Amino acid sequence: MFIFIKTHKKYVILRIFVSKYQIIVRMKTIIVVGNGMVGYKFCEKFVAKEESKNYKVIVFGEEPRPAYDRVHLSEFFENQDAKALEMAPAEWYTENDIELIVNERVTDIHKTTKKITTAKDREFSYDYLVLATGSSAFVPPIKGVEKEGVFVYRTIEDLEGMLDYASKLKSKNANAKAAVLGGGLLGLEAGKAVMDMGLEPHIVEFAPKLMPRQLDSRSSQVLQLKLESIGLNIHLSKATNQILGDKSIVGMEFGEDDVLDVEMLIISAGIRPRDELGKTCDLEMGVRGGIVVNNKMQTSDESIYAIGEVALYNQMIYGLVAPGYDMAGVAVDQIIGEAETLMPEEIDMSTKLKLIGVDVASFGEPFMPASKGHSIIFENKTQHLYKRINVSLDGKSLLGGILVGDATDYSMLHQVYLNGMAIPEDPAQLILPASEGGAAFGDVMDLPDEAQICSCESVTKGQICAAIESGEATDIAGVVSCTKAGTGCGGCKPMLADLTNATLKSLGIEVKEGVCEHFDLNRQDLYKIIQVKEYKTFNEVLDNHGNGGHGCELCKPLIASLMASINADTANKEYAIQDSNDRFLANIQRNGTYSVVPRVPGGEITPDKLIALGEIAKKYDLYTKITGGVRIDLFGATLNQLPLIWKELIGHGFESGHAYGKSLRTVKTCVGSTWCRYGMDESVSFGIELENRYRGIRAPHKIKGGVSGCIRECAEARGKDFGLIAVEGGWNLYVGGNGGATPRHAELLAEQIDNETVIKYLDRYLMFYMRTAKPLQRTAAWQERLEGGMEYLKEVIIEDKLGIAVDLEKEMETLVNKFECEWTQAINDPEMMKRFSHFVNSEEEDDNLVFVPMRDQKMPEPWN
């Protein structure tokens, strides 16, 4: 028995197990031209079909990599990780017997002989040809558009080119400006990319409003206000006459005296279908481009299909992922003979996205003539909120709508619209805030089974529930992997989570997220229990709420931290349950010695104190280094030396820096208006005040702060858990940033607030984080996963939506007032001091330590 494949003729002898019969089956070949998201989706849907094994699939892509997620292209600017955007790795194609040919463009189609030719002059035969060539950026014919520094926003290569150019610009001019031509959906995405590249962003739009296809003028104004408030400059009704500059761009000219100086331009003025192949082989084309298809996705040649942004269906090019995926599904079914699958007449163009942290959504018919129905509009410009719904004349059904600023209601409204569900008698309830007479309308469980939850992957509520009910999926990750819901644009994820949890609940399944084998409770539950029951020891918590074991290195330090957060205990209490560093109030280093970091609030230190540090370091022969948080770290102290060193440090007025704790580290400051000629406020004074306020407080993870005296941001405050930047009229307060493995900029919580308000909001924010985060979760990760995001956080912290602000402030006040330096505590208590000796039966030190010299100091012998 053997298999025989002759590549270009495609005659295959299939292996037959039954008997001596050998049947020769002619295997059909499908060639897919284009390996973007839709081309990939075609392959994915195709291999899922039983019949696919009777076909050979060859995919051509002109880009050098496998298909990637273009919808989330702007994420590339955050992580520059092209791999993370991949739809599937190259191996996926091999595993599924698909031949993927990248870097080779298809140049011609010979309809009569059913062959294609590539740029490398190779020929391939097909039985079915699927054109998924997508679109390219439309470059308007503006004079000077070919100049250096003008880019389009389309592929990873475009992005790499931009990054390169931007970094060159910035090295010459730190305040360089860049413009985006086009204020549509993609243009605003590109605007975010410009911000992420650190250039001053400008959006230039020809129309008098932003996102002209999705928004009405009022919502566009609200969006504009919001975007301007975060630093985007918006220029509407501007027709660009020419691009200025000799070799490279230096500006854009709109009118005679109307010029915008920019050193870089990103064109995002719409898309044009990549339909050249259709033209060369004489397929029926649209007047303004696009290959005409019928509802089977067939072109004028019945063996040639077109899907995605190259296909002109009902005289329209659909630039969204969901219809593209649907087209791929129709083409797959048509090719294998499931003729009844057709593209629907009407295509849902609803979209929801987060633009630079701002929710924008539109669904159904966003703009509706008054003759067709009534509109209900809710607008709050001070909060950058706009909601509009369009209701039928009889008031019974929802026809469409627009949401800007807060799109939490989108999933539900979209479902109500799609499924023609009944709406309340007063439709205003659908969009009014609950406090103003709005009612929580609609529960996910009320949706009909056929309601489409994920429109990208066409997954219905029924399919999701079935996956959970059959036991195939037991959590959200499981639902995602077995239904593919949520893998497209990701917009349905919140609803997916609600649906999964509600379904699990309806089945009586509890969602377990215990901290370790000793507790089924999560950190938040334990927090509440310890607070309410006023437990004071680990054993009390374990005996009353544990699973009968004896604890471990996960739950012990967690409960120690919770009791410290709640009772303002120092780490000296019940030291055996503290993490090793907290137990010895120092940071353990590679060889089991410790490092010592005294607190230097705000980084301000007198010469005398600096000398004292130097002398102590010299006396105990400690390796000395300035830390990443601009404090002074003394390394190589033995356990026995720790109290001796601290006695001296405390004698010189130092106190513990808590570098070893999951607690406030340092508040980094720039010199501020005290000395700096640009300073707007006293960043050092305020930094010291904040550091002294929050010192010693135990949290889920370490906390760092920063205070900058002006927008030059020398203290890198936006890279900290909390950061302040002095501006005209007060401080801008940013929260949830960090460096580390996944760097993240802090987000703006409040603007132009005074010192007192900063402290009020920070007290609430930190306490809210301490109450609700997971173990070892930094503020950045916590904030990112906070349902409702930044808007919700603002509601809780600023507007006190949950009515807990007073409690949060009170709890923080208690912690602040109870602060005690734990090192001072330790060295004044002979019982505590016993902890700091290497042997309990000898005064000797660890004889295993070996140090070697390094750059005039010492280091532990390297590990082998």
Partner 1 sequence: MEEILETYTATELEHVKVWFKAASTKDFPVDGGACIKYKDKQIAVFNFARLDKWYACQNVCPHKMEMVLSRGMIGDDKGTPKVACPLHKKTFSLENGENLNGDLEAIATYPVKIENDFVYIGFSE
Residue whose CB is less far from partner 1, 121 or 831: 831
Residue 638 identity: T
Least Å distance, CB 592 to partner 1, is 4
- Give Cβ neighbours of residue 669 (< 8 Å, ≥ 6 apart): 602, 603, 604, 683, 684, 686, 687, 688, 706, 707, 708, 709, 715
Least Å distance, CB 624 to partner 1, is 22
Distances (CA, A) of 539 to 316, 492, 525, 721: 68, 43, 17, 33
Residue whose CB is less far from partner 1, 471 or 549: 549
Residue whose CB is less far from partner 1, 214 or 587: 587
Helices marked H in 568-665: 580-583, 607-619, 641-651
Residue whose CB is less far from partner 1, 549 or 739: 549
CA distance 115 to 107: 11
Task: Give me the residues that bind partner 1 (CB under 8 A), please.
Answer: 517-518, 539, 549-553, 555-557, 575-577, 579-581, 583-584, 588, 590-592, 639, 834-835, 838-842, 844, 846-848, 863-864
Say whether 185 sits in a helix, a strand or coil. Answer: helix
Least Å distance, CB 835 to partner 1, is 8
Least Å distance, CB 655 to partner 1, is 24
- Give Cβ neighbours of residue 466 (< 8 Å, ≥ 6 apart): none
Least Å distance, CB 846 to partner 1, is 5
Least Å distance, CB 639 to partner 1, is 8
Residue whose CB is less far from partner 1, 254 or 575: 575
Residue whose CB is less far from partner 1, 572 or 666: 572
C-beta neighbour count of 515 within 10 angstroms: 19
Least Å distance, CB 617 to partner 1, is 23
Residue whose CB is less far from partner 1, 550 or 785: 550
Least Å distance, CB 830 to partner 1, is 13
Which H or E element spans position 385? Answer: strand 385-392
Residue whose CB is less far from partner 1, 382 or 848: 848
Task: Please name every residue paired with 386 in a beta bridge, in sequence order, or none if there are none.
Answer: 379, 404
CA distance 633 to 642: 13
Least Å distance, CB 838 to partner 1, is 6
Least Å distance, CB 733 to partner 1, is 36
Least Å distance, CB 769 to partner 1, is 25
CA distance 465 to 471: 10
Contact present, 765 and 772 (Cβ < 8 Å): no
Residue whose CB is less far from partner 1, 370 or 576: 576
Written as one string, the DSSP assignment of 264-295 is: EEEE-S-EEE--HHHHHTT--B-TTS-EE--T
Residue whose CB is less far from partner 1, 125 or 589: 589
Residue whose CB is less far from partner 1, 513 or 517: 517
Distances (CA, A) of 169 to 146, 199, 259, 579: 18, 9, 20, 47
User: Which residue, 204, 192, 260, 184, is CA-closest to 231?
Assistant: 192
CA distance 117 to 395: 58
Residue 666 identity: T
Least Å distance, CB 665 to partner 1, is 20
Q: Look at the chain and count its residues.
A: 864
Contact present, 371 and 380 (Cβ < 8 Å): no
Say which DSSP state 338 is in: -
- Give Cβ neighbours of residue 670 (< 8 Å, ≥ 6 apart): 676, 679, 683, 684, 707, 708, 709, 712, 713, 714, 715
CA distance 470 to 482: 12
Contact present, 453 and 496 (Cβ < 8 Å): yes
Assigned token pair, 558: 């967690």
Residue whose CB is less far from partner 1, 339 or 840: 840
Least Å distance, CB 781 to partner 1, is 20
Helices marked H in 354-492: 410-418, 461-469, 476-483
CA 777 remoteness from chain centre: 16
Residue whose CB is less far from partner 1, 501 or 539: 539
Backbone φ and ψ for 495, nearest 5 degrees, come out as: -70, -35
